[in-house]
């Protein structure tokens, strides 16, 4: 060996050492008992809600990409979320059912939802704040609604708000493009949001 050169290091990993390294790697990315213990001492920072929502929608669309391996991995990720972020797990399942509008399938004759209305709804959903609006249904009937906004989804017919309608005392879907005079209302339904999301998922999966 030439002078000044560091001799090579031979790695002789035993099974126990390898298992230890794998456990450490799992803890770093947030999987397994070590991750739970680590998070109890050093809680992970809260993920930006918009980034979290975008990631959930990406997972939900995995089943539409024609790759069963990717779809299975996305389903497994949503299953694991049930233990660490139950709200995200519920949203992911709702998105799998209803948020299914890849760009190439958008009909050209569907009117777009107003960007200003979408901004109001996204903010109200994050704040668990009721909203009120005028609404014209597909039959041309006009009503005024006050609802608890839960989720925005993107079926082929256009962007919809899924909400608990106080007037109808039940879950309803509203095309955002058919809303008028959309206005945030006083109130905070944050304490009921998880129960409402679970009820919505149960309704959409036929469990109620």
131 versus 156: the higher-pLDDT residue is 131
The answer on pLDDT for 146 being more than 90 is yes
pTM metric for this prediction:
0.73
* pLDDT score of 102: 60
**Mean pLDDT throughout 17-32?**
43
Residues 6+ apart with CB under 8 A from 70: 62
pLDDT over threshold 50, residue 47: yes
Q: Name every residue whose Cβ is closer than 8 Å to that of residue 205 and which is 6 or more positions away in sequence.
A: 93, 97
Q: Which two tokens stand for residue 130?
A: 């009721």
């Amino acid at each position: 060996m030439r002078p000044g050169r560091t001799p090579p290091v031979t790695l002789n990993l035993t099974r126990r050492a390898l298992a230890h390294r794998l456990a450490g790697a799992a803890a770093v990315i947030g999987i397994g008992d070590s991750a739970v213990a680590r998070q109890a001492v050093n809680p992970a920072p809260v993920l930006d809600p918009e980034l979290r929502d975008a990631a959930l929608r990406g997972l939900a669309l995995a089943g539409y990409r024609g790759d069963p391996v990717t779809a299975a991995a996305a389903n497994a990720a949503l299953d694991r979320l049930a233990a660490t972020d139950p709200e995200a797990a519920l949203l992911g399942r709702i998105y799998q059912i209803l948020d299914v509008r890849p760009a190439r399938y958008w009909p050209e004759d569907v009117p777009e939802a107003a960007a200003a209305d979408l901004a109001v709804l996204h903010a109200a959903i994050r704040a668990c704040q009721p909203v009120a609006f005028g609404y014209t249904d597909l039959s041309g009937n006009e009503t005024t609604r006050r609802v608890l906004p839960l989720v925005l989804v993107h079926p082929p017919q256009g962007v919809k708000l899924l909400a608990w309608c106080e007037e109808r005392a039940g879950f309803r879907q509203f095309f955002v493009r058919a809303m008028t005079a959309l206005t945030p209302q006083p109130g905070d339904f944050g304490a009921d949001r998880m129960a409402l999301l679970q009820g919505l998922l149960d309704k959409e999966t036929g469990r109620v």
